Amino acid sequence: MSVTQPVGNKAEITEAEFEGLKIKALQKVNDFTDYLKIITDLNSDREKIKTAIGLATALFVDENARIEVSNVNTGLKNKYKVKEYFVGLGTPFFDQVGYVFLATTEEGLVELEQRRAAQVELGVPVERVDPAELPGVRADDVLGAVVCRSDGVADPVAVTRELVRRAVEGGVDVREHTPAETVDAETVVIACGAYSPPLAAHFGVELPVRPLTRQLLETTPIPALLERLPMVVESETGFHFRRRGDRLVLAMADADPRWGDLAEVDEAVFPDRLARLEHRYPPAAGARVARAWTGPYDMTPDAHPLIGHVEDGVYAVCGFSGHGFMQAPAVGDAVAAELLGEEPPLDLDPYRPQRFASGAIFPETLVL
Ligand SMILES: Cc1cc2nc3c(=O)[nH]c(=O)nc-3n(C[C@H](O)[C@H](O)[C@H](O)COP(=O)(O)OP(=O)(O)OC[C@H]3O[C@@H](n4cnc5c(N)ncnc54)[C@H](O)[C@@H]3O)c2cc1C
C-alpha cells in the first residue's frame, strides 16, 4: 500500500481509449484460434488456476470471488494465510462476523452451490445455512443460503494507519504528502489505486486501468442491531449490507456503471436501496441514509490486478478492481519477495500486466 495522501491527480483515460487498449491487446493475438486455446487452457488447467489463486486471493476465478474466504483454511497449498493476517491484527481492525450469501432464484441457487462446491474443494469452510437461522433476515423468499463463518469485515483506514505505524517502527522511511514523481528510487512501485495511470504515464507507460465510481451508504442508527450480524449479500442482485456500530452500511453496483472518479453521491438510488434493506432486513424499517460517500474502483479489463515490471525500475501493483484490501496481505508479501529477488509465495504470473497482449483474459465475474 502506498502511504502518501491524495495528490489530486486523476486517471484521464476515456472509455473509448480503454476499449481501444483492449482491442489492441486482442489484435496482438494473430489467430483467433490461439486466443481460444489460451482461454481453453486456462479453463481446463484447474490445478494451475488454483495454484494461481494461491492464497486465496480470489484473484482469478469467479467461483472463488468471495475474496476473504480462501485464506483461512489449511487445505490450500499456500504458505500465506491472508485471513490469519487480519485475525492477527485483532479488534478493532478485523471483526470475524462471517459472510452470508442468499439465493432467491433457482438459477442463483445453482450458481451459489457451484461456487460453494469449488470453495469447499479448495478447503474453504463454506457451509449451507438455513436462512431462518439468521435473526432478523427475511427468509421467506430465499431458496438457499451459504455462510463462511471465518469471513469478516475490517476497518481499512485503521488497518492502513496501523500498518504505517508498524512500518515506521520497523525503520521504514515513510514520507507523507509526497508525490511519487518527486522521489528518486532504484525501483518505483506504482501502487496508487485508480491514480496509477498518471504516475505510470510519468514513466512513459500506459496502464489498462480506469476508475469506476462506487458509493457506500450508511444508515441512521438502528435499534437493537445484532452484535454479530454477518455481512449479508443477495447473490443475484449483489445488494449487501453489514453492521458498523449501531448502523448498517449498504452497497450495490449501479445499473449504469459510473465510469470516472466522481465525487458526487448519486442520491437517486437511496429510496431503492432503503427499500431493498427494509425488505431483506425488516428491523431496519424506517432507517434513513445518514451519510454516503464515493470512491473509485481501479478497474482492469478482467477485474484482476496488474502485478509486475512494466519498465526497467518500474513495477506496477494496481488495478485491484474493488477487492484489493482483502488481497493486500498476500500480494504485499509476494511483491516484496519478488522485488528482493526471492521466490514469491504465490505465482504472480497470471497477473502480469502484459497478459492482455497474449490474449489471456479470464474475467472475474463476481465483483461486489
Ligand atoms: C466504495 C468502495 C468499497 C470497497 N470495498 C472493498 C471491500 O469490501 N473489500 C476490498 O477488498 N476492497 C474494497 N474496495 C477496494 C479497495 O479499497 C482497493 O482495492 C484498495 O484500497 C487498493 O489499495 P491500493 O493501496 O492499491 O490503492 P489505494 O488504497 O487507492 O491507495 C493509493 C494511494 O496512492 C496515493 N497516490 C495517488 N497518486 C500518487 C502519487 N502520484 N504519488 C504518491 N501517492 C499517490 C493515493 O493518495 C492513495 O493514498 C473498495 C473500494 C471502494 C471505492
Strand 144-148 relative to strand 188-190, pairing: unpaired
Q: Considering only CA atoms, which residue is closest to atom 10 of ligand 1? A: 323
CA of 95 to the centre of ligand 1 (A): 20
For residues 317 and 308, what is the distance between their CA atoms, to the nearest angstrom?
7
For residues 216 and 265, what is the distance between their CA atoms, to the nearest angstrom?
9
Residue-wise DSSP of 234-266: ETTT--EEEEETTEEEEE---SS-EES---S--
Most ligand 1 atoms within 8 A of CB, residue of 323, 327, 368 to mutate? 323
Q: What residues line ligand 1, using a CB cutoff of 6 Å?
A: 1-2, 4-7, 67, 179-181, 191-193, 195, 199, 214, 216, 295-297, 318, 320, 322-326
Which residues, other chains included, contact 298 with Cβ-Cβ below 8 Å and sequence gap of 6+? 193, 194, 196, 209, 210, 211, 318, 319, 320, 321, 324
Alpha helices in the chain (DSSP H): 15-27, 32-44, 46-53, 82-89, 106-121, 156-169, 196-202, 270-280, 324-339
Mean pLDDT of 234-263: 94
* Lowest mean pLDDT segment, chosen from 8-17, 34-43, 55-64, 336-345: 55-64
CA of 239 to the centre of ligand 1 (A): 21
CA of 193 to the centre of ligand 1 (A): 5
User: What is the predicted pLDDT for the residue at 63?
Assistant: 25
Instruction: Classify each residue of 153-176 as buried b or exposed e, where b means 16 or more C-beta atoms within 10 Å of its C-beta.
Output: bbbeeebbeebeeeeeeeeeeeee
Quote the cell numbers at residue 344: 514469491
For residues 1 and 17, what is the distance between their CA atoms, to the nearest angstrom?
27
User: What is the predicted pLDDT for the residue at 51?
Assistant: 27
Q: Using a pLDDT cut of 90, give the percent of the chain over it.
A: 52
Q: Is the pLDDT of residue 203 over 80?
A: yes
Residue-wise DSSP of 84-97: HHHHHH-TTTEE--
Q: Considering only CA atoms, which residue is closest to atom 52 of ligand 1? A: 295
User: What is the predicted pLDDT for the residue at 285?
Assistant: 96
Residue 178: strand, helix, or coil: coil
Cβ(217)–Cβ(319) under 8 Å?
A: no
Q: Considering only CA atoms, which residue is closest to atom 8 of ligand 1? A: 323
For residues 63 and 43, what is the distance between their CA atoms, to the nearest angstrom?
12
Mean pLDDT of 32-37: 31
Which residues, other chains included, contact 264 with Cβ-Cβ below 8 Å and sequence gap of 6+? 294
Given the CA of residue 198, which atom of ligand 1 is nearest to it? 41
CA of 254 to the centre of ligand 1 (A): 19
User: What is the predicted pLDDT for the residue at 33?
Assistant: 31
Q: Considering only CA atoms, which residue is closest to atom 19 of ligand 1? A: 324
CA of 28 to the centre of ligand 1 (A): 31
CA of 311 to the centre of ligand 1 (A): 22
Q: Considering only CA atoms, which residue is closest to atom 46 of ligand 1? A: 6
- Count Cα neighbours of 57 within 13 Å in the Cβ-side half-sphere: 33
Most ligand 1 atoms within 8 A of CB, residue of 4, 178, 306, 331 to mutate? 4
Q: Considering only CA atoms, which residue is closest to atom 14 of ligand 1? A: 322
Given the CA of residue 215, which atom of ligand 1 is nearest to it? 1
State the sign of the Cα–Cα–Cα–Cα dihedral 70, 75, 76, 82: positive
Count of CB atoms situated within 10 Å of the CB of 358:
14
Could you tell me which residue, 51 or 214, shows the higher pLDDT? 214
CA of 33 to the centre of ligand 1 (A): 37
What is the pTM (predicted TM-score) of this model?
0.79
CA of 321 to the centre of ligand 1 (A): 10
User: What is the predicted pLDDT for the residue at 22?
Assistant: 46
Q: From the centroid of its chain, how far is CA 345?
A: 20
CA of 325 to the centre of ligand 1 (A): 8
Q: Kindly report, residue by residue over 59-96, the tens digit of the pLDDT.
A: 222 222 222 223 322 222 333 456 677 778 877 788 88
Q: Is the pLDDT of residue 40 over 50?
A: no
Confidence of residue 119 (pLDDT cuts 50, 70, 90): confident
CA of 217 to the centre of ligand 1 (A): 18
Q: Kindly report, residue by residue over 255-312, the tens digit of the pLDDT.
A: 999 999 999 999 999 999 999 999 999 999 999 999 999 999 999 988 899 999 999 9
Q: Considering only CA atoms, which residue is closest to atom 37 of ligand 1? A: 192
Q: Kindly report, residue by residue over 149-194, the tens digit of the pLDDT.
A: 988 888 888 888 888 898 899 898 999 899 999 988 899 999 999 9
> Can you say whether residue 188 is alpha, beta or left, with left for phi > 0 and alpha for psi between -120 and 50 degrees?
beta
Mean pLDDT taken over the chain: 78
